[in-house]
């Protein structure tokens, strides 16, 4: 009687839990298709269809026929959860989570959780269409072209891909627009694209750039062509099929096409470079009489080369190691000082580098003074409470300069005086600024201390602090903010540092995921489950809106399975790095993350291409020994990484040693070395700059997601 009452109580509790799900839940035994339990939502669905509620084959599977296929394919002993989509008899989409549990009788049973996601999927498809489809013609837009091209980048340098990017526009289209109106012009574009999309030659290859400009993009295998001339002849004949006259009823004018094409990788390995060269060929087609195809040749390119332009963000830290702000260090020289000259790029580049969403509360950004600051666009877009304008004490001092600096103060900006030494210290400038920044070795010790003590309202920043000894010296002299990479330098200890118990969990996880061996999900789940903080962070990450899972994750094993092997390795590596480095400045973690992601983006386009996973891990581990207060050798004795990673971390001759040197040069703004690296590997400076900015944003998002 006691056991029976206990079973009734368990059944009631279980029913209450299942009924609380905003989804259908059904628990079955595969062999006989017996339904052991179901929640109220599933019961109502069966009742409305008048199907059996005790046997899945005769009941629930009548509504969801694909469910039987899943049962037959999956073993009842398989305990790893799976997730998939199915449709009901009416075609509505349902998200399904399948897992195996031990039922109250001690035997295994299969749990299906089904949620109606039809409207959600339709909404996502509509959002996708808005983001990636040109609304006038229905063909993919420039953003979709960019993403489709990025998918072939890794194959280009590996010799696995070649192809063509061709730009065309409609000859005489402006005349039709002006004569018959924009509605007629729009109809011409719709009919022309519909015609091309009906031809299998062009279907799936057409993108709209804007206006009457379109792109045809093709990917091919180099092995398909015996020679370069055969490759060019093939695409010349293919694109030639589009050279027709396009007309509409009751319109006398007709449109033809002018096409310019560039080949990859022959003419470039970035989309922007290929579009530029295809546009040069298009311009030549127009000049030669229109209604023709011109293939790009190097002799057509008479444009001047842009200067190499890079940007990085160097942290400015508090005594505690917290981040006070960043200086934006740009390879571009200061804008022209002529009053009638305006740099159109300067501040847009600054904002592009940061991204408006990345201008965080409390974080300050130091940028160099230029007259472009008085442009209305700059005054409107640069927040006064976040941007600090740096003026150089070494610049020639004039009354006109002083007037401009005072005007910036009147606009609400804070000012910082930099490059101070004993020969250029000007009291008028000193009275005007809020910050003074100079290297501790730039002035004598007594002169520094006297300057700092006599200006208690100023904030003093020690720049160029490269060692822990210099950091301690600057503190003693009265500096309160510190700029330099002293935090990424090892601290020499006399005895081996013991690892705290909680940090040992992070180290164990790194040991499990740093090699190329098979990842044991069950073992990893056990380590994470034993640490409340780790479990909380993982579940919070996966249940966040940014991840967008269809069903909330309720177990560590389910979470680990959802991530998948590669994402799991990356996530654990990042989390472990932050956990081990919790006593160090956060910038040490950020620098490691930026290195990892930066290298991962660059790896496929290097010559020869590198393994992205290895490069990511090399960047991530490159500063870990500092967090552990160990030598690199001691660290690697505890973390059995792949041999190529180990060789690169320990010496200059490893497969990824050059990339580690590249990271250092970029962090220290050694732009000449960065340009040599880019030229050696045939990578444009724009690609490197964009990769860095993407890495910074990825790092910030990742840190935010983990709290």
Give the pLDDT confidence score for residue 501 in this predicted structure. 43
* Per-residue pLDDT tens over the stretch 483-495: 998 888 775 444 4
Mean pLDDT of 320-346: 64
CB-based contacts of 166, cutoff 8 Å, min separation 6 = 215, 216, 217, 235, 239, 259, 260, 261, 262, 278, 293
Comparing 322-326, 424-428, 561-565, the range with the smallest average pLDDT is 561-565
Q: What percent of the chain has pLDDT over 90?
A: 28
The pLDDT of residue 631: 86
Confidence of residue 334 (pLDDT cuts 50, 70, 90): very low
- Please count the CA atoms within 13 angstroms of the CA of 95 that sit on its side-chain side: 15
Tokens representing residue 137 in the block: 């013609």
User: Residue 8: which pLDDT band, with cuts at 50, 70 and 90?
Assistant: low
Strand order in the sheet with 293-295: 206-210, 213-220, 162-171, 256-264, 293-295
> Could you give phi then psi for residue 202, rounded to 5 degrees?
-110, -15
The DSSP code for 55 is B
Confidence band for 18, pLDDT divided at 50, 70 and 90 = confident
Q: What is the mean pLDDT of the chain?
A: 80
Confidence (pLDDT) at 648:
93
Mean pLDDT of 506-511: 68
Task: Give mean pLDDT, residues 177-186.
Answer: 90
| Residue-wise pLDDT tens digits, 431-464 | 999 999 988 776 788 888 999 999 999 999 999 9
What was the pLDDT predicted at 401?
Answer: 87
Q: What is the pLDDT of residues 25-81, one digit of tens each?
A: 888 886 678 888 888 888 888 876 667 778 888 888 888 888 777 666 555 445 566
Q: Does residue 547 carry a pLDDT above 90?
A: no
- Give the pLDDT score at 309: 64
In contact, 317 and 324? CB cutoff 8 Å: yes
If you average pLDDT over residues 156-164, what whole number do you get?
Answer: 80
Q: Is the pLDDT of residue 194 over 90?
A: yes
Q: Is the pLDDT of residue 477 over 80?
A: yes
Residue 592, pLDDT score: 87
Helix (H, G, I), strand (E, B) or coil at 35: strand
What local confidence, expressed as pLDDT, does residue 121 receive? 85
Beta strands 293-295; 459-462: pairing state? unpaired
Q: Could you give the C-alpha distances from 384 to 365, 368, 461, 671, in angstroms and in order?
A: 10, 14, 20, 29
* The pLDDT of residue 707: 54
φ, ψ of residue 318 in degrees (nearest 5): -85, 170
Q: Return contacts of 9-12, CB within 8 angstroms, 24+ apart.
A: 10/104, 11/37, 11/104
Q: Supply the pLDDT for residue 567.
A: 64
Q: What is the model's pLDDT at position 578? A: 67
Contact 191, 272 (CB under 8 A): no
At residue 503 the predicted structure's pLDDT band, cuts being 50, 70 and 90, is low
Give the confidence band of 130 by pLDDT, cuts at 50, 70, 90. confident
The percent of residues in the chain predicted with pLDDT above 70, rounded, is 75
Q: State the number of CA atoms in the 13 A half-sphere of 147 facing the CB.
A: 7
Q: Which domains does the chain have, with CATH numbers?
A: 2-116 (3.30.450.20), 133-300 (3.30.70.270), 311-488 (3.20.20.450), 501-705 (1.10.3210.10)
pLDDT exceeds 90 at position 217: yes
**Residue 548 backbone dihedrals phi, psi, to 5 degrees:** 70, 35
pLDDT tens profile 301-331: 776 555 566 778 899 999 988 889 988 887 6
The pLDDT of residue 160: 82
Q: Are 706 and 575 in contact (CB under 8 A)?
A: yes
Q: Give the residue with greater pLDDT, 138 vs 698.
A: 138
Asked whether residue 517 carries a pLDDT value surpassing 90, the answer given is no
**Is the pLDDT at 103 greater than 70, yes or no?**
yes
Mean pLDDT for the stretch of residues 251-268? 91
Joined together, the tokens standing for residue 236 give 């010349």
Round to whole Å and give the CA distance between 323 and 703.
14
pLDDT, one tens digit per residue, over 144-155 is 998 889 888 767
Greater confidence (413 vs 8) lies with 413
Instruction: Give the single-character DSSP code of 298.
Output: G
By residue count, the chain amounts to: 707
**Is the preceding omega at residue 608 within 30 degrees of 0, hence cis?**
yes
CA dist 462 → 89, 317, 466, 472 (Å): 70, 10, 10, 11
For 56-98, the three-class secondary structure string (H helix, E strand, C coil) is: CCCCHHHHCCHHHHHHHHCCCCCCCCEEEEEECCCCCEEEEEE
pLDDT at 545 over 60: no
3-state secondary structure 415-474: EEEECCCCCCCCHHHHHHCCEEEECHHHCCHHHHHHHHHCCCCCEEEECCCCCHHHHHHH
User: 139 — phi, psi (to 5°)?
Assistant: -90, 160
Per-residue model confidence (pLDDT) at position 110: 86
> pLDDT class for 563, splitting at 50, 70, 90?
low
Alpha helix segments (H runs only) across 228-358: 228-240, 271-287, 346-354
């Amino acid at each position: 009687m006691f056991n029976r009452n206990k079973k009734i109580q368990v059944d009631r509790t279980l029913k209450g839990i299942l009924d609380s799900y905003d989804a259908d839940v059904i628990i079955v035994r595969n062999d006989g298709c017996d339904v052991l339990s179901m929640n109220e939502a599933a019961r109502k669905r069966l009742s409305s269809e008048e199907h059996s509620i005790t046997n899945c084959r005769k009941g629930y599977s009548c509504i969801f026929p694909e469910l039987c296929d899943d049962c037959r394919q999956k073993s009842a002993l398989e305990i790893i959860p799976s997730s998939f989509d199915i449709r009901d008899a009416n075609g509505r989409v349902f998200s399904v989570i399948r897992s195996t549990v031990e039922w109250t009788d001690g035997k295994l049973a299969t749990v299906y959780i089904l949620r109606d996601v039809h409207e959600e999927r339709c909404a996502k498809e509509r959002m996708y269409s808005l983001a990636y489809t040109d609304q006038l013609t229905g063909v993919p837009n420039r953003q979709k072209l960019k993403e489709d091209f990025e998918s072939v980048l890794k194959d280009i340098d590996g010799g696995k891909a070649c192809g063509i990017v061709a730009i065309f526009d409609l000859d005489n289209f402006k005349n039709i627009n002006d004569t018959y109106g924009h509605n007629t012009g729009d109809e011409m574009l719709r009919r022309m694209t519909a015609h091309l999309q009906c031809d299998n030659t062009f279907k799936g290859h057409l993108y709209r750039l804007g206006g009457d400009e379109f792109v045809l993009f093709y990917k091919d295998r180099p092995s398909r062509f015996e020679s370069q001339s055969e490759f060019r002849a093939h695409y010349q004949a293919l694109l030639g099929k589009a050279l027709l006259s396009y007309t509409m009823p009751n319109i006398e004018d007709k449109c033809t096409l002018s096409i310019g094409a560039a080949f990859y990788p022959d003419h470039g390995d970035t989309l922007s470079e290929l579009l530029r060269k295809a546009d040069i060929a298009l311009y030549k087609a127009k000049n030669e009489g229109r209604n023709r195809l011109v293939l790009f040749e190097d002799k057509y390119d008479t444009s001047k080369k842009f200067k190499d332009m890079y940007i990085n963000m160097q942290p400015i830290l508090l005594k505690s190691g917290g981040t006070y702000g960043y200086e934006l260090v740009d390879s571009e020289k200061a804008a022209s000082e002529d009053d009638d000259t305006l740099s159109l790029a300067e501040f847009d580049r600054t904002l592009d580098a940061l991204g408006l969403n990345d201008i965080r509360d409390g974080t300050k950004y130091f940028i160099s003074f230029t007259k472009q600051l008085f442009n209305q666009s700059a005054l409107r877009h640069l927040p006064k409470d976040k941007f600090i304008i740096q003026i150089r004490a070494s610049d020639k001092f004039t009354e006109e300069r002083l007037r401009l600096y005072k005007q910036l103060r009147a606009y609400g900006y804070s000012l910082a005086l930099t490059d101070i030494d004993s020969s250029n210290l000007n009291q008028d400038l000193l009275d005007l600024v809020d910050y003074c920044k100079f290297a501790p070795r730039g002035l004598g010790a007594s002169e520094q201390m006297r300057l700092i003590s006599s200006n208690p309202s100023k904030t003093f920043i020690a720049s160029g602090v490269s060692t822990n000894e210099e950091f301690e010296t600057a503190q003693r002299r009265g500096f309160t903010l510190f700029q330099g990479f002293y935090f990424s330098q090892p601290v020499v200890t006399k005895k081996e540092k013991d690892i705290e118990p909680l940090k040992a969990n992070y180290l164990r996880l790194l040991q499990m995921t740093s090699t190329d061996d098979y990842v044991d999900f069950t073992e990893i789940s056990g380590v994470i489950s034993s640490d409340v903080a780790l479990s909380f962070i993982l579940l919070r990450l996966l249940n966040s809106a940014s991840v967008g899972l269809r069903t909330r994750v309720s177990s560590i094993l389910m979470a680990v399975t959802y991530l998948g092997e590669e994402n799991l390795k990356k996530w654990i590596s990042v989390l472990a790095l932050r956990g081990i480095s919790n006593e160090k400045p956060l910038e040490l973690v950020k620098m490691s993350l930026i290195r990892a992601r930066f290298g991962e983006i660059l790896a496929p386009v290097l010559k020869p291409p590198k393994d992205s996973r290895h490069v990511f891990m090399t960047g991530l581990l490159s500063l870990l020994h500092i967090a552990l207060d160990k030598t690199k050798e001691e660290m690697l004795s505890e973390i059995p990484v792949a041999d190529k990673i180990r060789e690169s971390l320990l010496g200059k001759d490893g497969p990824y040693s050059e990339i580690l040197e590249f990271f250092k040069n970029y962090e220290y703004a050694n732009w000449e070395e960065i340009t040599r690296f880019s030229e050696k590997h045939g990578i444009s400076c724009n690609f490197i700059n964009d990769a860095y900015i993407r890495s910074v944003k990825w790092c910030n998002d990742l840190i935010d997601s983990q709290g």
